[in-house]
Structure 1
Amino acid sequence: MKNYMVTHTFKSKEMKDKFTETVASMKMEDIVKSMTSDKAACQMTWNTPGDTMEMFCWWKGTDPEAIKNQLGQMNDFFEPHKFVECNDDVMDFNK
């Protein structure tokens, strides 16, 4: 699978709040299950504070369409996603 950094932009402050409430009501294993398949899997998510309308996720997927399909109804919270494909040459400054 390919690596993608994805910018998810909320449609409104209300949609961000509703998304936060929805995720907070879920068990972690259900969140992981809903974000993982053989064609797309979310690796990490960076939520943003306050009125910032974007969140950022590192996905592994066969292509952007597979990621959109994996998000399913969650797509309703967001504007069209912005995908940037990344290669596997990672510089890890924590080692």
Structure 2
Amino acid sequence: MKNYMVTHTFKSKEMKAKFNETVASMKMEDIVKSMTSDKAACQMTWNTPGDTMQMFCWWKANSEADINNQLGQMNDFFEPHKFTECTDQVMDYNA
């Protein structure tokens, strides 16, 4: 699988609020299940505070299309995603 850093931009403040409400109503195991398959799996998510309209996720996936397919109806909250493929070479400053 390839590594992708993905910028997810909410369509509006209302959509961000609705997304946050939806996720808050879910159990963690259901969130993980909805974000994981054999073709695309979200590794980490960085939410942003206040009026910031982006969130950032690290995905492992075979392709950008597989990430969009995994997100399914959650895509409705966002503008088209911005994908950046990354190498496996990581500089871990916490090691």
Q: TM-score, with normalisation over the residues of structure 2?
A: 1.00
Query: C-alpha separation between the residues in 1 aligned to 2:91 and 2:50?
Result: 30
Unpaired segments ≥5 residues, structure 2: none
4+ residue runs of structure 1 moved beyond 6 angstroms? none
Unpaired segments ≥5 residues, structure 1: none
The number of residues matched between the two structures is: 95
What is the percentage of aligned positions where both structures have the same residue?
84
Q: TM-score, with normalisation over the residues of structure 1?
A: 1.00
In structure 1, the residue matched to 2:89 is 89
| Aligned residues: CA RMSD | 0.2
1:4-19 equivalent positions in 2, closer than 5 A = 4-19=4-19
**TM-superposition CA deviations, 1:55-82 (whole Å, max 9, x none):** 0000000000000000000000000000
In structure 1, the residue matched to 2:2 is 2
**TM-superposition CA deviations, 1:17-42 (whole Å, max 9, x none):** 00000000000000000000000000
